Chains A and B, each alone.
Chain A
Amino acid sequence: MKQTSIHIRGLRKSFGKGADAKEVLKGIDLSIESGQIIGYIGPNGAGKSTTVKILCGILTSFEGDIEVMGIPLRNNAIEVKRKIGYVPENGALYEALTPAEYLNLVGTLFDMSSSLIGERTDSLLKYFEMSQHANQRMDTFSKGMKQKILIIAGLINNPDILFLDEPLSGLDANSVILVKDMLTRLAKQGKTIFYSSHLMDVVEKISDRIILIDNGQVIADGTFEELQQDSKASLEQVFAKLTGGEERVGESGILDEVFKN
């Protein structure tokens, strides 16, 4: 029997207070098994990043109960953080450092030995074809190169769960293939992959289970085939249907009006 890696009950999160408060998550319940690749999708502002930030211990105030690898997140955030890796959407890096310096910093924060940090850094940089850039400052890197370093930093502690928030942003086609392959391999090793993205084709291909949220609530949860409901629709079409995107296409006439003069 597979272990439950993430267990969420009644997760709610609001920003602001009183009359100005905005509820971003409105009661999310989820149970995710180890070794699964979860595609976490939803329109802009649906609450995807907020969910990921809460699960990674970045946001600490929320309502509800969360257990990560059997550890209650509330009051045990440090312990939970040791077991996870996080790949944020955009360059959350110390760009004035080199990849070697940055990865040493991240590894040290996970209390890894210097030799282990060195070994993993070398191997992962090699895997992502970044070895020759190990000692160059990252502020000279392209967006894709920075994204690779973010992915490596998310993996350096050999996490049980890897949270990825738009990880393919800025990567070239070869690197996308590399990351997709990597995610599949990691899942086979028993790691849970929590993959939040807008790129439907990637989510469709790699996910064992797709969770669609809209307006802070889970509106669909299942395998791609289950979400298709016997149709031959792509995930993009399923997504548009469930989130009202099909209706919005009709409003595109606005654009013609804007550029008429």
Chain B
Amino acid sequence: MTVIQRILSAPLNIFLSLLGVNERHFKVLLAAKLKMDFRRPPNSFQSAGKKQTLIKQLFIYAFLGAIMLLSLYRIPDLMLQLSVFYAFLIVFAGTIMLTEFTSVLFDESENHVLLPRPVSSRTLLIVRLIHVLIYIGNITLSLSLPFSIYLAINYGFIALAFLLGVFLCAWFIMLLVVGIYMSLSRLVSASRFKDVLNYLQIGLAIIIMASYQLVPNFIEDANMEQLTFTHAWWTQLVPSVWFAGFVRFLSGMGEGNDVVLFLITIGVTILESVILVRTLSSGFNAIIAESGAGTVTKKKEVIKVNAKQPWLEKVIDLLCVSSVEKMGWAFTMSHIKSDRKLKQQLYPMFAYSIIMVIVFLKPQVNNFGAYMAELGQSSKYLMFFLAGFFGTIGISIIPYTDTPKAAWIYEVASTNKKYHMQSGAIKAVLFTFFLPLYVLYLVPIIWIWGVSVLPHIILGASLSAALAILLVKLQKQPLPFSQAREMVNKGEYTLKMLLGMAMVGVIIGLVYLVSLAHIGLSIGLCVMMPFIIVLCYRLIRSQKVAIRV
């Protein structure tokens, strides 16, 4: 090791020894993990390597950051700009931690490699945390890059402090989420933990998303060009304000209270790290060991699996065009029911969907009658298309599994209808998640806007479904459960969700324009939609060149 390397690694070594982590174990494990992340599978026929995939993804995140800058640019007050940005970052990093990296943290696939060796819970937890942080850090830094350039041009040195704040912010939210997980593990047994984790994820998703809504609502209601930040006692309780104060203080632009915010940022981050690693980490090995151990199928689950649902079988017969497509449907649903990692990604999304509806509608308890009357006159029902699109998200995670080798079945199956599996899988997700979500949303929609908007809703829902199917074709999505879950692909799911939602924005615009015309146009388009959807499915099924698995 060179002198420079020693100097550079000194802070990390101090940090590790403070946390009581075995430095040598930590370094060898992290190095091995990073090495494996970027090694291409020997039989890979992908044109781009893993590094290129990651770089492409980070570039798109930077583009999203640039779009976000457009709204931040209008805020004249630096402190407020920073607070809003960090609030967004906290929600974003929290979301990605909940939906994409929770499964990495509690991954049991390496139990037989690590658990028989003398590695402490503390070391193993911190290795996984830093491993995840590297990826979340990359994503959040990419997202923050446009804003940091803006800050560098306008304020100079503050950009560096801002980027350091971004890193600390990602660490803060990660530790907060994991701290809550590990606190929960104290209340339930290690074997029970994996069962309750999904519920906790959904709960946390709701809390994170709901808390964020305070900021944009506040801004939306005010004249943005004249907003300034004023210190108040309660602002010191808001994490995004801590990081904003941290940045201003560190860059020498701090005012009165910023030193307090700086100290809170540093203090909370250190305290969080110490509490998590020194106190809560002790049961970590037990959690992953018991998660990976033999599970007992609950008696009621056995009954559920064995139970025939004649109505569902009839629906599947009606909607599927071939036996392979039916198999694709059944195969996908059994996977979703039994794959915990898949559920960990999928279920928090429904919490986001419902929260999004509440945010759009902004229910006001005071003067409820006037509020409802005003809402009924608006076109806010169009916003349900965004919330409904969450029901399609499952489609983008279907290709990933822990057992990609099992996909040899696609290679040996004596059928030329491989892609019927794909269309069957899409139908299963749309029928099981997308359709019920819309049916659920029809209740408030009809209550508030009446049945007259029904054609618009059906049109928007159908267009969303068609978009979801087309995205599979456009993105050349691999066959169901044929790809390994790779660290470099993490972030892709959230990215697809954001890009998909941007496209739903176009659908909202289209339906709005249609709603301005005679209702007959909507009804006519609704009649056409089944044909369009059938065409989209044909596109999926007609793929001839097999994607090598």
Q: B192 at the A/B interface (Cβ < 8 Å)? A: yes
The residues of A that contact B24 with a CB separation of less than 8 Å are 108, 111
Bound-complex Cα distance A218 to B102 (A):
40
Least distance between B120 CB and chain A CB atoms (Å): 6
What is the chain A residue whose CB lies nearest that of B301? Answer: A20
Q: A129 at the A/B interface (Cβ < 8 Å)? A: no
Contacts A16-B298, A57-B116, A61-B191 hold; do A105 and B286 have CB atoms under 8 A apart? no
What is the chain B residue whose CB lies nearest that of A13? Answer: B293
Most A CB atoms within 10 A — which of B290, B294, B298, B299? B294
State which of A61, A88, A109 has its C-beta within 8 Å of the C-beta of B290.
Answer: A61
Bound-complex Cα distance A25 to B77 (A):
66
What is the chain A residue whose CB lies nearest that of B295? Answer: A15
What is the chain B residue whose CB lies nearest that of A88? Answer: B112
State which of A56, A102, A108 has its C-beta within 8 Å of the C-beta of B25.
Answer: A108
Within A32-60, which residues are at the interface with B (CB < 8 Å)?
A: 50, 53, 56-60
Of A93-101, A192-200, A221-229, the stretch lying at the interface with chain B is: A93-101
Q: B520 at the A/B interface (Cβ < 8 Å)? A: no
The residues of B that contact A140 with a CB separation of less than 8 Å are 42
Q: B305 at the A/B interface (Cβ < 8 Å)? A: no
Most B CB atoms within 10 A — which of A21, A88, A96? A96
- Whether the pair B294, A56 counts as a contact (CB closer than 8 A) is no
The residues of B that contact A60 with a CB separation of less than 8 Å are 190, 285-286, 289-290
- Whether the pair A82, B118 counts as a contact (CB closer than 8 A) is yes
Bound-complex Cα distance A242 to B298 (A):
30
Bound-complex Cα distance A101 to B95 (A):
35
Bound-complex Cα distance A72 to B162 (A):
51
- Whether the pair A101, B32 counts as a contact (CB closer than 8 A) is yes
- Whether the pair A16, B115 counts as a contact (CB closer than 8 A) is no
Q: B189 at the A/B interface (Cβ < 8 Å)? A: yes
Bound-complex Cα distance A78 to B25 (A):
13
Contacts A19-B299, A60-B190, A94-B113 hold; do A50 and B294 have CB atoms under 8 A apart? yes
- Whether the pair B112, A97 counts as a contact (CB closer than 8 A) is no
State which of B25, B36, B42, B285 has its C-beta within 8 Å of the C-beta of A97.
Answer: B36
What is the chain B residue whose CB lies nearest that of A21? Answer: B296
Q: A92 at the A/B interface (Cβ < 8 Å)? A: yes
State which of A16, A24, A96 has its C-beta within 8 Å of the C-beta of B36.
Answer: A96
Bound-complex Cα distance A177 to B189 (A):
44
The residues of B that contact A96 with a CB separation of less than 8 Å are 35-36, 39, 41
The residues of A that contact B412 with a CB separation of less than 8 Å are none
Least distance between B269 CB and chain A CB atoms (Å): 28
The residues of A that contact B116 with a CB separation of less than 8 Å are 56-58, 81, 84, 86, 88
- Whether the pair A93, B113 counts as a contact (CB closer than 8 A) is yes
- Whether the pair B190, A61 counts as a contact (CB closer than 8 A) is yes
Bound-complex Cα distance A50 to B294 (A):
9
Q: B117 at the A/B interface (Cβ < 8 Å)? A: yes
Bound-complex Cα distance A47 to B110 (A):
21
The residues of A that contact B28 with a CB separation of less than 8 Å are 104-105, 108-109
- Whether the pair B39, A59 counts as a contact (CB closer than 8 A) is no
What is the chain A residue whose CB lies nearest that of B24? Answer: A108
Bound-complex Cα distance A82 to B110 (A):
19
Q: B119 at the A/B interface (Cβ < 8 Å)? A: yes
- Whether the pair A97, B35 counts as a contact (CB closer than 8 A) is yes
Bound-complex Cα distance A94 to B289 (A):
18
The residues of A that contact B299 with a CB separation of less than 8 Å are 19-20
Contacts A92-B112, A108-B24 hold; do A20 and B118 have CB atoms under 8 A apart? no
Most A CB atoms within 10 A — which of B24, B32, B293? B293
- Whether the pair A58, B111 counts as a contact (CB closer than 8 A) is yes
Q: A17 at the A/B interface (Cβ < 8 Å)? A: yes
- Whether the pair A15, B286 counts as a contact (CB closer than 8 A) is no
The residues of B that contact A127 with a CB separation of less than 8 Å are none
Q: A137 at the A/B interface (Cβ < 8 Å)? A: yes
Q: B354 at the A/B interface (Cβ < 8 Å)? A: no
Least distance between B186 CB and chain A CB atoms (Å): 14
Least distance between A183 CB and chain B CB atoms (Å): 18
Bound-complex Cα distance A50 to B290 (A):
11
Bound-complex Cα distance A57 to B190 (A):
15
Q: B470 at the A/B interface (Cβ < 8 Å)? A: no
**Chain A, 7-19, contact with B by CB distance < 8 Å: what is the 0/1 string?**
0000000011101
- Whether the pair B118, A58 counts as a contact (CB closer than 8 A) is no
Within B148-191, which residues are at the interface with A (CB < 8 Å)?
A: 189-191
Least distance between A31 CB and chain B CB atoms (Å): 22
Q: B355 at the A/B interface (Cβ < 8 Å)? A: no
Contacts A22-B296, A110-B117 hold; do A94 and B112 have CB atoms under 8 A apart? no
Bound-complex Cα distance A104 to B192 (A):
35
The residues of A that contact B286 with a CB separation of less than 8 Å are 60-61
Bound-complex Cα distance A180 to B110 (A):
28
What is the chain B residue whose CB lies nearest that of A16? Answer: B296
Within B295-340, which residues are at the interface with A (CB < 8 Å)?
A: 295-299
- Whether the pair A101, B35 counts as a contact (CB closer than 8 A) is yes
- Whether the pair B35, A61 counts as a contact (CB closer than 8 A) is no
Least distance between B469 CB and chain A CB atoms (Å): 34
The residues of A that contact B295 with a CB separation of less than 8 Å are 15-16
**Chain B, 105-130, contact with A by CB distance < 8 Å: what is the 0/1 string?**
00000111111111110000000000
Least distance between B159 CB and chain A CB atoms (Å): 37
Q: A106 at the A/B interface (Cβ < 8 Å)? A: yes
- Whether the pair A139, B41 counts as a contact (CB closer than 8 A) is yes
Least distance between A24 CB and chain B CB atoms (Å): 7
What is the chain B residue whose CB lies nearest that of A84? Answer: B116
- Whether the pair A94, B191 counts as a contact (CB closer than 8 A) is no
Q: B29 at the A/B interface (Cβ < 8 Å)? A: yes
State which of B32, B189, B289 has its C-beta within 8 Å of the C-beta of A59.
Answer: B289
What is the chain B residue whose CB lies nearest that of A56? Answer: B116
- Whether the pair B290, A59 counts as a contact (CB closer than 8 A) is yes
The residues of B that contact A94 with a CB separation of less than 8 Å are 32, 36, 110, 113
- Whether the pair A137, B42 counts as a contact (CB closer than 8 A) is yes
Most A CB atoms within 10 A — which of B25, B113, B116, B299? B116
Least distance between B490 CB and chain A CB atoms (Å): 17
- Whether the pair A137, B298 counts as a contact (CB closer than 8 A) is no
Bound-complex Cα distance A97 to B290 (A):
26
Within B434-467, which residues are at the interface with A (CB < 8 Å)?
A: none
Mark B residues whose CB is within 8 Å of A. 24-25, 28-29, 32, 35-36, 39, 41-42, 110-120, 189-192, 285-286, 289-290, 293-299
Q: Which 6 pairs of residues, A with B, have the shortest CB-CB distance?
A: A92-B112, A16-B296, A86-B116, A96-B36, A109-B117, A81-B118
Could you list some 6 contacts between A and B, CB below 8 A? Answer: A21-B296, A61-B290, A78-B118, A78-B119, A137-B42, A139-B42
Extra 13 A-B pairs, beta carbons < 8 Å, given A50-B293, A58-B111: A15-B293, A16-B296, A17-B191, A57-B116, A58-B115, A61-B190, A81-B116, A86-B116, A94-B36, A96-B39, A96-B41, A101-B35, A102-B32
